[in-house]
Structure 1
Amino acid sequence: MLKVDRRIAKSQTAIKNAVIELMSEKSFDDITIQDIADRANVNRGTIYLHYTDKYDLLDKMIEEHIENLRDLCQSAADMTFQEGNYVWYEYFESHYLFFSTMLASKGAPYFRSRFLELIVEEFKPEVDIEGGKNKGLNEEVFLQFFGSAVVGAVEWWFKNGMPLSARVMAEQTGALLDRNFE
Structure 2
Amino acid sequence: MSKRLDNRKKYTRNVLKKSIISLLQEKPISSITVKEICEKADINRSTFYTHYSDHLDLLNKIENEVTEEMDAYLNSYSYEVEEEAIQITEKILEYINDNKLILRTLLNSNSSLHFEQKMMTLTRRYMLNNWMKESNVEEEKSKFLSTFVISGAIHVIKDWIDNDMDQTPGEMALMINSFVNYGFSYLED
TM-score range normalised by the length of the shorter chain: 0.7 to 0.9
RMSD of the alignment, in Å?
2.3
Provide the C-alpha distance between the structure 1 equivalents of 2:15 and 2:98, rounded to a whole number of angstroms. Answer: 17
Aligned to 2:99: 95
Aligned to 1:160: 163
Provide the C-alpha distance between the structure 1 equivalents of 2:47 and 2:144, rounded to a whole number of angstroms. Answer: 45
Highest RCO, 1 vs 2 (Cα 8 Å, sep ≥ 6): 1
Write the deviation string for residues 43-67 of structure 1: whole angstroms up to 9, x where unpaired.
1111111101111111111011111
Q: CA deviation at 1:77?
A: 2.6
1:1-182 equivalences under 5 Å are: 5-77=6-78, 80-125=84-129, 126-127=131-132, 128-130=134-136, 138-177=141-180
The unaligned stretches of length 5 or more in structure 2 are 184-189
Q: Which moved more, 1:79-88 or 1:43-52?
A: 79-88
The unaligned stretches of length 5 or more in structure 1 are none
Q: CA deviation at 1:136?
A: 10
TM-score where L is the length of structure 2: 0.84
Provide the C-alpha distance between the structure 1 equivalents of 2:56 and 2:100, rounded to a whole number of angstroms. Answer: 21
TM-score where L is the length of structure 1: 0.87
Aligned pairs, number: 176
